[in-house]
Structure 1
Amino acid sequence: MSTSQGSVLAANAEHNRADVTQDSASLIGRVLLSAIFILSGVSKLAAPAMMVGYISSVGLPLPQVALVVAIIVEVGGGLALIAGYRTRLVAAGLALFSVVTALAFHNALGDQNQFIHFFKNIAMAGGLLQIVAFGAGRFSLDARRR
């Protein structure tokens, strides 16, 4: 093997390691972002009456319907994000959901707790937009569909 062939093989091996690292980080990031949505959706299932009251307290119409939609978005979207199924679309929907819930439920920015929750939602939307921009990576159902 010539020196140039050895250099090409070494460069390819380095590129493959970088790809695996990037794709692994993408999967781990999707799992970590999904956790908060899935846990939130499951907690809503555990206490639906309380959640309907909370939704009503901020003045949203049809609180029962809003609860069902929230559970579907959070649990379904979280699971789809982990699986990497229609990842860009799901991440965009979860980002929008995060911003809307920040504005509807955490807009009392004078309250330190609400301030933190507001910006947590905004930060989650930012992370989700990274997924919209760069996709799910190799370890996803989207990659298998190509």
Structure 2
Amino acid sequence: MSQTNYIAAVGRLLLAIMFIISGFGKIMAPEATQGYIASVGLPLPLLSYLLAIAVELGGGILLIVGYQTRIVSLAVAAFTLVTALVFHNDFADQNQMIHFLKNISITGGLLQVTAFGAGALSLDGRRLRTA
């Protein structure tokens, strides 16, 4: 098996870890998370909260196992870009600028996964081999 397949699997794992930890963090602090969502003026903070958990946990797990990876990575990339634009747009605050740039960089990594797929060490790769 090619070294590239191992690199793709490790890359998916590293991208996914952040989303999974963030999703669990939101579960552990629902009021604070919904308050933060409301503070930026988003309507329906409970719905946004539940959507964020679904994307972060669901998307993170699916990235790790490599299932429907191109679709999942594109959806998580869109979520990450929107998060950057909505929550980290105060560029006068250096901390917010760092978070914005981090999210943009993660979006770029996710788009690479969208473009090139999960690799052989994934459920997608297994499905292609058995088809």
TM-score bracket relative to the smaller structure? over 0.9
Residue in structure 1 matched with residue 68 of structure 2 by the alignment? 86
Structure 1 runs of 4+ aligned residues shifted over 6 Å read none
Aligned residue among 91, 94, 107 for 1:109: 91
Tell whether 2:32 aligns with 1:50. yes
Tell me which structure has the larger Cα radius of gyration: 1
- 2:26 matched to 1:71? no
Q: Deviations over 1:23-62 (max 9, x none)?
A: 0000000000001100110000000000010000000010
Aligned residues: 128
Is 2:23 the partner of 1:41? yes
Amino acid at match of 1:34: A
1:95 aligned onto 2:77: yes
> TM-score, normalising length from structure 2?
0.96
Distance 2:39 2:126 in 1: 44
The partner residue of 1:31 within 13, 37, 42 is: 13
Q: Structure 1-normalised TM-score?
A: 0.86
Could you tell me which runs of 5 or more consecutive residues in structure 2 were left unpaired when the two chains were aligned.
none
1:139 aligned to 104, 111, 121, which one? Answer: 121
Structure 1 unmatched runs, 5+: 1-18
Distance 1:66 1:40 in 2: 14
For 2:49 and 2:107, the matched residues in 1 are separated by 20
Give identity over the alignment, percent: 54
> What is the Cα-based RMSD across aligned positions, in Å?
0.7
d(CA) in 2 for partners of 1:71, 1:115: 24
Distance across 2 between alignment mates of 1:108 and 1:26: 34
